[in-house]
Structure 1
Amino acid sequence: MRALPLLGLAFVLVWCTGYLAGKIVVAQAAAATALVWRFGGAAALFALLAWLGGARWGTWTDARRSASVGVLMLALQFGGVYLGLQLGATAGVAALVIGAMPLLVSLIAVLSGMERLRALQWVGLLLGFVGVLLVVADRVDGATPWPAWLALLTGLVGISAGTLYQKRQAPNVDLRAGLALQNAAATLVLLPFALLLEDFRFAPTSAFFGATAWLILVNSLGGFALLFVLIRRDAATSVAALFFLVPPVTAVLGHLVLGEHLTALKLTGFACAACGVWLATRRLA
């Protein structure tokens, strides 16, 4: 990747912490309600940073594009994943579906003429997906109901379309202003579901507010800022390939932080995913 490798590594580590914090949040609140808290808080924080820094908000067209990215990458992706979990999908099935994102992004990018991939890059993408499959294999079962699959596929389409849209139609606004608009749009889309279907249900515990604060300050502020910087600087396929590392790194963090079991199969999957990302993102002569 043209961006510093450390930037991509930082993104993966920060992004993975969101899954650990998310497990705590969804145990304390309904899905859409939890996301409204997260995205609403992030929108307010980014708006404050934009105002303090005198950020340029751009034109109405820029605002519309930022809002579109927010609906796709935030509301659809996380709404689909959280709803899928509520409808009976296991964490392994969710990780496997979202783990297909790099393949879908690459396929669309090639078919639309946005990018051209070499054979070794396709090998890397397939190897990366095999790595994801190995990591989540022990958590995938055949009992996932079709509504849960539909919700997860909606999340997959959301993050894939959002990545490509952000790359092709990136609004010409300050990053702080853009993220404020994106989070605000996601909040407005999810708010009716939280109010009408969930009665804005959450437990006002220290665990809920602590995990939500982490999602806002670390995952949204750090993770999405890093993601959009990477999208601006690199090919969509290269950035998407980093998501192959999310399930393996999350498994390792889950072992270190939550005491979750780490098997030899998961470590093998980690190695496959890492090799796949290296092949998919390296610059070939």
Structure 2
Amino acid sequence: MSNSSPLAQSSNGLSVLGISFVVVWCTGYIAGKLMLGHAAPFTALVWRFGLAGLVFAALALATGARAGRRDVLHSMITGVLMLSMQFGGVYLAMGWGASAGVTALVIGIMPLLVAFLAMLAGSERLGLAQWCGLLLGFAGVLLVVADRVDGATPLRAWIALAVGLAGISMGTLYQKRYSSKIDLRLGLAIQNGVATVALLPLALAEGFRYEASMAFYEPLAWTVLINSVGGFALLFLLIRRDAATGVAALFFLMPPVTAVFGHLLLGEHLTLLKLGGFLLAAVGVWLATRASGQVPATG
């Protein structure tokens, strides 16, 4: 059986679906930052995943979605990797003092790590243009976050970010290989449900601490309805349709797009260096997601 590398099943370069995913996903960083100002990290995630799981479960029941035991098991594993490990690590790191720049830098390594792991597994092989695109994309991320990276991040925050990086990288590859055929609504209901159960003991250990105010509920509603329901639905569709490396490359656009949102919504300074990084990341993603010139992988 042969598989092709990034986006071989779709059109060349960035798609409307991919751009929509980036825009929706980036709003979650701002909403998550606001939410963490009024709740402990794991408590915030239990609220987020628990409510999103209920939404997807209701949709699955309403449409009569069904799946076999193997698909359910694969979705459970994906939920632990993509949700529990990724967001658990990222939220905990931010709670321990990791800056937005450091967080973006570590997660920005994800596309390169996914490409390397996919190559080792023999599931995808990239041509020179795709590797150049990945390197340019990461260089763009470096330019965008350069002024926000400092030496004050504690070691435990770096470890938590490494856990988050491993979760999203392995989760992307695992979902592509084993868990992309299940009904979207049922699959995401299972993933969010498993993540809620996995993180609940940690939330209880931190006292299930949150502030019962609109300052917490408003960003929570956004992360549930826009990011978890909308964002993960788009990610699910992208992973189902495209190669894992091509989907991962979209994450190079997250820091620059988030910087633009921060400028528009929070009044954060947008420098020429950041704009240059944005353009460099965009070129990198375009190269990495081109279908032309790909090297087919056999397996």
- Structure 2 unaligned regions, length at least 5: 1-6, 294-299
- Structure 1 unaligned regions, length at least 5: none
Task: Please give the TM-score of this superposition, normalised by the length of structure 1.
Answer: 0.97
Structure 1 contact 135–270 (Cα < 8 Å) conserved: yes
Task: For 1:172 and 1:260, locate their aligned partners in 2 and report how far apart those are by CA, in whole Å.
Answer: 41
The answer for the alignment partner of 1:6 in structure 2 is 16
Say if 2:160 is the partner of 1:155: no
Runs of 4 or more, structure 1, over 3 Å off, are none
The answer for the alignment partner of 1:273 in structure 2 is 281
The answer for the alignment partner of 2:235 in structure 1 is 227
Say if 2:25 is the partner of 1:15: yes
Instruction: Specify the SS of the correspondent of 1:185.
Output: helix
CA RMSD of aligned residues (A): 1.0
The answer for the alignment partner of 2:3 in structure 1 is none
Say if 2:272 is the partner of 1:264: yes
CA drift of 1:101 comes to: 0.3
Q: Deviations over 1:154-201 (max 9, x none)?
A: 0000000000000111254210000000000000010000002x1100
CA drift of 1:109 comes to: 0.5
Q: How does 1:34-183 map to 2 (within 5 A)?
A: 34-56=44-66, 58-170=67-179, 172-183=181-192
Q: How does 1:243-262 map to 2 (within 5 A)?
A: 243-262=251-270
Task: For 2:182 and 2:115, locate their aligned partners in 1 and report how far apart those are by CA, in whole Å.
Answer: 26
- Count matched residues: 283
CA drift of 1:211 comes to: 0.8
Task: For 1:228 and 1:178, locate their aligned partners in 2 and report how far apart those are by CA, in whole Å.
Answer: 9
Task: For 1:280 and 1:96, locate their aligned partners in 2 and report how far apart those are by CA, in whole Å.
Answer: 19
Task: For 1:21 and 1:165, locate their aligned partners in 2 and report how far apart those are by CA, in whole Å.
Answer: 27
The answer for the alignment partner of 1:27 in structure 2 is 37
What amino acid maps onto 2:210 in structure 1? F
Task: For 2:76 and 2:35, locate their aligned partners in 1 and report how far apart those are by CA, in whole Å.
Answer: 25
Task: For 1:95 and 1:43, locate their aligned partners in 2 and report how far apart those are by CA, in whole Å.
Answer: 26
